Structure 1
Amino acid sequence: MKFSYVNSTVIHFGQGQIEQITNAIPSDANVLVIYGGGSIKKNGVYDQVANALSSHKWYEFSGVEPNPTKETMDKAIELVAAQGITYILAIGGGSVIDGAKFVAAAALHSGDSWDLITGDYQPNSALPLGVVLTLPATGSESNMAGVITKKATNEKQGFLTPLVRPQFAVLDPDAMKTLPERQLINGLVDAWVHVCEQYITVPTGNMVQEGYAETLLKNLLVLGANFTQRDDNWHANLMWTANQALNGFLGSGVPHDWASHMMGHELTALWKVDHARSLAIVQPSLLRNQIEGKRAKLEQMGRNVFALCPSDDLAERTVDAIEAFYNSLEVETRLVEHTGDKQDAIEAILEKLKAKGFTQLGENRAIDLPTIETILADAL
């Protein structure tokens, strides 16, 4: 249990905290506000941000899509150069924030922005970034990771650099009250799998991280069970739980998996499956395939999260309970977006993973291409 941990993002949590933007962004900054499809103009968030920035010089860039694309964010990069932007403010969920992170790093590069993804560009600086979170799910508001899609080639890949960790994040639960139910469910599922990827590996003896992971998972179970009785506390608890699931602390000093994410990203890139729902499709099949290596941790999860009684098949029943959790939220655990030949779909995913060098996944690098094919055959 050896690690270094720091999280420098200042969190402004609670109702009315959007006003903190006024002092969080330097008064002489030239600000670019980046957001998605315009829902923030219907729920009052845009007006609150505009009021908070009334003494700042600022521009706006809208139209960031779910699973932000290089092609869209390149237009924002052009605006950064044209207007001499010195600070970026992202308003939205993980997609908008990830897109803004891409802009913050790639805007200072003279070459192709995709170089940030391939590693041909190693940034040593980035534009400062702040966030107003409207959809809790990814934890992107206070971590150093992002995911971007290259539409031209149907590639979805992540990038990681501490330079894009937001300087501050406003987490006002009121901002999520008008979200469609589908997006709230996606947030629940995404946060759940984020915790699982850092927890369902092997027992570590790390009482803090393992115990905290179990607490977060139990939070999400309760929130799922009370989905139809959402109130202020429900929204606040989802927003904070999703943040804690992937802000860097939970994964400190423990092994990680992330194989479900690597495969799930390809479902999103190829068939536009919602990110969270791609994870629900892959994860149960992956856990069943890898059950012997993960048996001890699944049994621990069964006891401490689902309160299941001990038995020889406790690990198997725990995977069933995970799948039942998704089903209770009416989230599919099989791919329905692709209606063609299943083997063709599997081959398409395998080709994408091979091209990226993702040929040995999981905490033990035990999930090779033949294993991935088996998992996908069950999941799809």
Structure 2
Amino acid sequence: MNNFEFKNPTKIIFGKNTIEKLANEIPKDAKVLLLYGGGSIKKNGIYDQVKTALSNVDVVEFGGIPANPEYAKLMAALKVIKDENITYLLAVGGGSVIDGTKFLSAAALYDGDTPWDILAKNIRTHKGMPFGTVLTLPATGSEMNSGAVITRAETKEKRTMGGPGLFPEFSILDPQVIASIPQRQLANGLMDSFTHVLEQYMTYPIGALLQDRFAESILQTIIEIAPKVLKDPTDYKAASNFMWSCTMALNGLIQKGVPNDWAVHAMGHELTALFGIDHARTLAIIAPSHYKFNFEAKKEKLAQYAERVWNITEGSTDDKAYAAIEKTTEFFHELGIKTKLSEYTEDYEGTAEEIAKRFTDRGWKTLGEHQTLSPDKVEKIVKMAY
């Protein structure tokens, strides 16, 4: 196992009717900017619960943060923060709203030339404006980590950011909220969390026995509860396991002491930036081809995954590893998610070359757990995914 340090300061408030505890977590003298997305929280009752809990708090609202948090929209929110002398941020939404809030947390205290530099120059945030979250869509794990992904439509870019100053102070997780989430978004959440685990697990054996079993238990749980969540999102047992699996998949715990990949996400982000494909679905497009292309480097872990998660015990290491890729692809299909780029757009020719060029232009010489995936190899993986 590799050396590591681990600290996660986010307070989790989990369970039924926990939104009412919101007022206990925000300083009484704070001026709060309430951030949310397209307005679904006003239809499903979450907005009313939040407003009731904050009835004695000075609150300004900013809605309309899109599914891929857009830089221009966030800059409008940043102006509100400055004009209204906001001191505390509250994200009520899924990963996109929370990611957008993290950007605002960083940008509110940033004294550089332009807040875009935080993303373009990969500037880590060590102190941001304090914020909390009320999670409405399990998927990204952003409610308990310090990373974010922001889109800039004018340049068709999707860039990452983070730093120890961007952990939420608290996150409220009430599994009852998933009852009103559309099937497509539920499937995306299951897909996103599953792939988050794979990015931290599907590398090579390093003797981190507990970390492997943490990861495998999350994968097994997602596989078990997926059909229940999709069939009946009011099933509280399934919903609670779904929500907690999404959080645990990316709160930093399972990645400590082990190699990480994240090349699937790097390539997937470009597909979202270029075509607007849902983030989770871009992961389903790239992951099978990525594992096939890097088969020799990953086959030991793929075979372990086959045995422990999919109960595939027959055959050689190669046989089990190939079977694991096929079972994973089948699982994505069972979620109703397609796994080829050509199933999402007819305008896919030249995409692989464009992504490889973008990585080259940014100076991204290598990706993956071994840092061996050069842009020319990225091009081949994306072409395999056509």
- TM-score normalized by structure 2? 0.96
**2:200–2:261: 8 Å Cα contact kept in structure 1?**
yes
Q: Map of 1:1-380 to 2, 5 A cutoff?
A: 1=1, 2-110=3-111, 111-119=113-121, 123-226=125-228, 227-230=230-233, 231-312=235-316, 313-335=319-341, 336-340=343-347, 342=349, 344-380=350-386
206-215 vs 350-359, which moves further = 350-359
Compute the displacement of 1:152 (Å). 1.2
Alpha-carbon distance in structure 1 between the residues aligned to 2:52 and 2:109 = 29
**2:356–2:376: 8 Å Cα contact kept in structure 1?**
no
Alpha-carbon distance in structure 2 between the residues aligned to 1:337 and 1:217 = 26
107-116 vs 40-49, which moves further = 107-116
Aligned residues: 379
Alpha-carbon distance in structure 1 between the residues aligned to 2:15 and 2:303 = 36
**1:90–1:96: 8 Å Cα contact kept in structure 2?**
yes
Segments of 5+ residues of structure 1 without an aligned counterpart are none
**2:38–2:66: 8 Å Cα contact kept in structure 1?**
yes
Q: Percent identity?
A: 42
**1:70–1:113: 8 Å Cα contact kept in structure 2?**
no
Alpha-carbon distance in structure 2 between the residues aligned to 1:309 and 1:124 = 47
**1:145–1:159: 8 Å Cα contact kept in structure 2?**
yes
Compute the displacement of 1:125 (Å). 2.2
Alpha-carbon distance in structure 1 between the residues aligned to 2:60 and 2:156 = 30
**1:186–1:277: 8 Å Cα contact kept in structure 2?**
yes
Alpha-carbon distance in structure 2 between the residues aligned to 1:118 and 1:266 = 15
Distance verdict in 2 for CA 1:122–1:188, change over 3 Å = closer
Compute the displacement of 1:330 (Å). 1.5
CA-based RMSD of the aligned residues comes to 1.2
Structure 1 moving runs of 4+ over 6 Å? none
**2:352–2:380: 8 Å Cα contact kept in structure 1?**
no
Compute the displacement of 1:109 (Å). 2.1
* CA deviation vs aligned residue, 1:53-84 (integer Å, no higher than 9, x gap): 11110101000001101111000100000000
**2:352–2:378: 8 Å Cα contact kept in structure 1?**
no
Q: SS of the counterpart of 1:361?
A: coil
Alpha-carbon distance in structure 2 between the residues aligned to 1:156 and 1:321 = 30
Q: SS of the counterpart of 2:180?
A: coil
* CA deviation vs aligned residue, 1:311-348 (integer Å, no higher than 9, x gap): 12110010000001001111010012321252x22222
* Letter matched to residue 222 of structure 2: L
Segments of 5+ residues of structure 2 without an aligned counterpart are none
Compute the displacement of 1:122 (Å). 5.2
* CA deviation vs aligned residue, 1:263-316 (integer Å, no higher than 9, x gap): 000000000010000000000000001011101100000000000123121100
Alpha-carbon distance in structure 2 between the residues aligned to 1:32 and 1:138 = 22
